[in-house]
Chains A and B, each alone.
Chain A
Amino acid sequence: MNDVLKVFARPQFPHAVLVHVELSALALLIAVAIALPVALAVNRSSLGTAVAVNIGNIGRAVPSLALLALALPFLGFGFAPSLVALIALAIPPILINATTGLREVSKEVIDAARGMGLSGWQILRGIQLPIAAPVIFAGIRTSAVQVVASATLATFIGGGGLGDLIVEGFQKGDTPVLLAGALAVAFLAIITELLFGGLERAFTPAGLKVAQKRQKAR
């Protein structure tokens, strides 16, 4: 165990963490920036929604190692190809949740809002988005955890991050280094899960929490 702690004290360690976080955060941010506008754009079309959800579903089935590996022959080694692969990986869950979340706001609620004279933009901002927020954030959370996990694989195409430690430990038969990498990544993933779970709760409107609780009690 002491040997593992020594690895954490190595100057390369903070750098690996930094690259890992940078890669994951950038990928997630860009994925949100792509998936959310698309979800909003297809919001009013059932065909658009169906297309987006189906593309999302197929996208989710693509193995993360396959995505990263495919970036190699087309984009080459390094940080940027890893980033592109991770963005592609992060988009589907956000896209699926955001489109279905917006879609599932009940028709009557939207009809009532329209009937009272809310504009399309007011309905989206004041009604649909807050009601869909928990579902949208659940999608972002899924993506975030997946990206942090898959960023470990970026090491295979030269993307850096904590995967480097695992690979180094494995190749040199250096168990402390291997374990240090593995534990750090696991810790990072769990932190991400908790952090985004908290965000999800924070963005769930109080009225919906009350409704959820009542539904559970039934």
Chain B
Amino acid sequence: MIEFKEVSKIYPGAQTPAVKDLSFEILEGEICVLVGPSGCGKTTSMRMINRLIEPSSGEILIDGEPNTKMSGTALRRKIGYAIQQIGLFPHRTIARNIATVPQLLGWDRERIRRRVDELLELVGMNPADFRDRYPSELSGGQQQRVGVARAMAADPPIMLMDEPFGAVDPITRERLQDEFLRIQENIKKTIVFVTHDIDEAVKMGDKIAILEQGGILAQFDSPENILTHPNSEFVASFVGADRVLKRLSLLRVADMRLDPADGADDLPTIDERLTVRDALSQIVGVGATGGIVERDGERQLLTIKAIEGLLKDSGSARG
């Protein structure tokens, strides 16, 4: 869907490149997270896709065609764009903010109105309440939702998101991430997602591209593989010493095969929607060796042993 071919970017006057010989391919319907320390060129890489920045060399193919085939503005109208600072237009209502690209594309009024309401519903905001409000009247979390809705307005197959949940508190961020993953399950967009937070990368990404200082691609793989087989010192230290635990956050209790529990009434009850990491934390937190999961009316036993077993067999993929 999106293919980087030997893409480099050297800013005028800079000694070292911001992005160097970047080559990788993002598949249709996947979330690809670009992650790395500041100065690794992740935002620059993303902005070259919709040509807010032009590469110094190399090319980017979208659906097999170079992205230089059409004008920058025409290209950008086909690619959703959401940024951390959101950049809502303060003088326009929420509805008109969301309608920006549809209006540029000349949709008729009725279609725009329907689409705006649909999107507001999708991001969990009541259209009747929010349609005619102004950005300054919204909380940070609500603004981020509108930012994402605005990026999706013309139903672009590709979306670029630069730390789209970066400007809110951790709890709101987590909720927005979960909501967005739920939405993505239905819309299946091809998404390029920039973050500096490896936990967010692991959570959101189908693929992760880890970039190093100087815009060099350190590793490009699934979150699972990056956590189990970091291919360099840099990647290992970037994903962190707790990468074993991070792998557990990729799995949900619901995805585990468990045995029925007999007795063991003193064990804590675990919600099967939790990630295995959170379940483990709950079990260890009360000093138990396992927990009870209620599933289809049956009581099942989740033991620390079973969790250890998970880590040994690295074949299991995301749930």
Contact = CB atoms under 8 A, between A and B. Distances in A.
B69 interface: no
Interface string B84-115: 01111111110000001100100000000000
B182 to A, nearest CB: 24
Contact of B90 (A116, A118, A122, A208): A208
Contacts of B72: 117
Interface in A174-218: 205-208, 210-211, 214-215
A109 interface: yes
A114 B91 contact: no
Contact of A207 (B52, B77, B91, B151): B91
A214 B76 contact: no
Contacts of B85: 106, 108, 111
Contacts of A207: 89-93, 134-136
A109 B160 CA distance: 16
B74 A117 contact: yes
A114 B134 contact: no
A115 B81 contact: yes
Interface string A128-166: 001100000000000000000000000000000000000
B249 interface: no
A214 B137 CA distance: 8
B187 interface: no
A162 to B, nearest CB: 39
Chain A interface, DSSP helix/strand/loop, else mixed: helix
Contacts of A215: 136
A124 to B, nearest CB: 13
Contacts of A113: 87, 89, 100
Nearest to A114: B52
B232 interface: no
B165 to A, nearest CB: 15
B311 interface: no
Given A208-B91, A210-B134, A214-B136, A115 B83 contact: yes
A215 B137 CA distance: 11
B288 interface: no
Contacts of A122: 104
B101 A116 contact: yes
A117 B76 contact: yes
A61 interface: no
B73 A117 contact: yes
A119 to B, nearest CB: 5
Identify the interface centre among B83, B92, B150: most chain A CB within 10 Å of its CB: B92
A112 interface: yes
A211 B90 CA distance: 8
B134 A112 contact: no
A108 B134 contact: no
A127 interface: yes
A113 to B, nearest CB: 7
Identify the interface centre among A113, A205, A207: most chain B CB within 10 Å of its CB: A207
A210 B136 contact: yes
B97 to A, nearest CB: 9
6 A-B pairs with least C-beta separation:
A112-B87, A115-B81, A117-B76, A117-B77, A205-B91, A108-B85
Interface of B: 50, 52, 72-78, 81, 83, 85-93, 100-101, 104, 134-137, 147, 150-151, 160
Interface of A: 106, 108-119, 122, 127, 130-131, 205-208, 210-211, 214-215
15 contacts: A109-B88, A109-B89, A111-B83, A111-B87, A113-B87, A116-B104, A117-B76, A205-B91, A206-B91, A207-B89, A207-B91, A207-B93, A208-B91, A210-B134, A210-B136
